[in-house]
Amino acid sequence: KEHYDSLMDRSKRIMWQDDCYMDLQSTSLSASSQTQTEDLHWLQNHQDQLQRFISPSFLEQILDHLRKVGVLTSAEETNIKEAG
């Protein structure tokens, strides 16, 4: 009986942990998206200063990275590149 109770407790604990993990994961994704949006707005607002102090190749790498992590769409990336 003790072994059976131990298995039942473990099962309950795992289910609770899964629910908790999902809640934390959805919260962190939301916070992450908000942070990415804020970062994008900051970059857009400071574009002129960045262009003066950072080499064009480095800016290209930044845009490429933002595109890979899903912060920029390809259309947004193209618009930024066309704007100079």
pLDDT in tens, 36-56: 778 778 878 887 877 777 788
Amino acid identity, residue 26? Answer: S
pLDDT digits (tens, 9 = 90+) for 58-74: 888 888 888 888 888 88
Domain ranges of the chain: 1-33, 46-84
Would you give the DSSP letter of residue 46?
T
Per-residue model confidence (pLDDT) at position 76: 84
pLDDT of residue 21: 47
Evaluate if pTM is beyond 0.85: no
Instruction: Identify the H or E element spanning 2.
Output: helix 2-45
What one-character-per-residue DSSP string does 67-84 give? HHTTSS-HHHHHHHHHH-
The least confident of 1-10, 14-23, 43-52, 53-62 is: 14-23
